[in-house]
A = this chain, B = another copy of it.
């Protein structure tokens, strides 16, 4: 396919597969002029795609198996070579697709990526890079957002290097500010992992700005926040839970007619509130990029509907366009 960017989309994983996955992929082709390859059962996907009548063209790549959310990742990847996740990852490995986006079993995507795309040289553990929208203009990258529940200090340094490189590529921030998520501001604060990571981070060439406390995450003080995948996952989901709460609040209020009865000036404030709720909603950023493997893989939320998928595809497309993952593979994440 030469220089053409094709994003492979897992249409068999996620709570709303296959319909919302297909819909999101088609919306992405229309909105972002992306080429997509739908991965799943050809007969099923073709039928759904025809339903969303479109002028876009896209490929459908057969994958007869699917991995469910509660399957054991490594086992499922080994025993289902024709699953949408394994097929999709292999499209990236073989250069047929530039990236793979999946809302399926996160562990299985990680395993398949590790097994078939392999780790980047110098990286011990690949990490998920969550994107958090903040009160300031640029979002914050949270690494690791959930791939590694138990970490060693050296892993966090690698997360910081990968995260900073990704922030340069994707967010266009020349010298990203890197913070360490911690339970206090001072250097001596933290659990053993955080205290040791602090000492390593301050001796790197990164723009390490020190500890970031929970209440500072949304304030845009750091561009990249590093933490272990256990804490990262919980923080990201806590923020998501609040986004949901706010979102429901706006929707309920509008349903009761209160929103509709507001004067013009008041609608502005509703729009603001709604915008805030949306900023905290995972649908807006769509997915988390997997950093540290030789390939462009985006893990979308299991609850993703079309909009979240569309945004996850957009994220994969931007990274593919910038050749971010090729650069990481070449070790450029280590250079400053």
A200 close to B (CB within 8 Å): no
A49 close to B (CB within 8 Å): no
Bound CA–CA A249/B209 (angstroms): 28
Contacts A219-B241, A241-B218, A258-B265 known; A213 to B191 CB distance under 8 Å? no
Shortest CB-to-CB span from A128 to chain B, Å, is 11
Chain B residues, Cβ within 8 Å of A242: 218, 239, 242, 280
Pairwise interchain contact A191-B150, C-beta atoms closer than 8 A: yes
**Secondary structure call for the A interface:** helix
Task: State the copy count for this chain.
Answer: 2
Among B241, B261, B268, point to the contact of A214 (Cβ < 8 A): B241
Number of interface residues, chain A, beta carbon within 8 A: 54
A57 close to B (CB within 8 Å): no
Bound CA–CA A149/B193 (angstroms): 10
Chain B residues, Cβ within 8 Å of A70: 186
Contacts A263-B261, A266-B262, A269-B258 known; A214 to B230 CB distance under 8 Å? no
Pairwise interchain contact B230-A149, C-beta atoms closer than 8 A: no
A55 close to B (CB within 8 Å): no
Chain B residues, Cβ within 8 Å of A280: 242
**Which of A150, A214, A276 gathers the greatest number of chain B CB atoms within 10 Å?**
A214
Pairwise interchain contact A236-B214, C-beta atoms closer than 8 A: yes
Among B183, B236, B259, point to the contact of A230 (Cβ < 8 A): B183
Bound CA–CA A231/B258 (angstroms): 39
A237 close to B (CB within 8 Å): yes
Bound CA–CA A269/B254 (angstroms): 10
**Which of A186, A216, A258 gathers the greatest number of chain B CB atoms within 10 Å?**
A258
Bound CA–CA A217/B182 (angstroms): 20
Q: Given contacts A191-B230, A218-B241, A242-B280, list 10 more A-B pairs with CB under 8 A.
A: A149-B183, A149-B189, A150-B191, A214-B237, A215-B241, A234-B234, A234-B235, A235-B235, A242-B242, A245-B276
- What would be 22 A-B contacts, judged by CB atoms less than 8 Å apart? A135-B245, A149-B192, A149-B194, A150-B191, A181-B234, A183-B237, A184-B233, A214-B233, A214-B234, A214-B235, A214-B239, A214-B240, A215-B238, A216-B241, A218-B241, A218-B242, A235-B238, A238-B238, A246-B246, A249-B276, A258-B268, A263-B263
Interface residues of A (CB under 8 A from B): 70, 135, 146, 149-150, 181-184, 186, 189-192, 194, 213-219, 228-231, 233-242, 244-246, 249, 253, 258-259, 261-263, 265-266, 268-269, 272-273, 276, 280
